[in-house]
Structure 1
């Protein structure tokens, strides 16, 4: 058995060893100052507001890995859903929502 295969097998079989979370997972401070939690939901990542006047509302669902994610984002004020994306860079998450891929708004969230 090759060393690399053995190490991968040993890590998967070892109890108590968790695989690293995706960079987008965690709690983020939004541009409005609310806290949003991003967590796995099925094969995607769901965005749920935890604080503010829309606390408890799911405002997005993104797919992806590493630094880049795409899916849908809902404006909690208007309840309109847009195609969206997120890009993680360190402790910053640049969120972008677009209508017809022409009219876009962006904001940067900060990891808590």
Structure 2
């Protein structure tokens, strides 16, 4: 989903609200809530007590949001590429489904 956050604070908060209500990672959610609270005028000390984050965390993600928009508070990593092909992955899953239990030395082969 694409988020177009205008310069006006109200639009930015609305944009954050939409992002928060979407299906996002818990880390992104905490970042977005901290930024939304800061933009809404809450003081950092209150935000850090409520969310269990540092003042630095709030300031950092607020700055990231102001410069990059929603993309600035999204997770940056995509994970690494798997070693197995799609076919090999399917074969391993099917092999595991057929097992009632696995011995530890069999798990080392996976």
Shorter-chain TM-score: what band? under 0.3
TM-score by length of 1: 0.24
TM-score by length of 2: 0.25
Higher strand share: 1
Higher Cα radius of gyration: 2
Higher helix share: 2
Q: Higher relative contact order at CA 8 Å, sep ≥6: structure 1 or structure 2?
A: 2
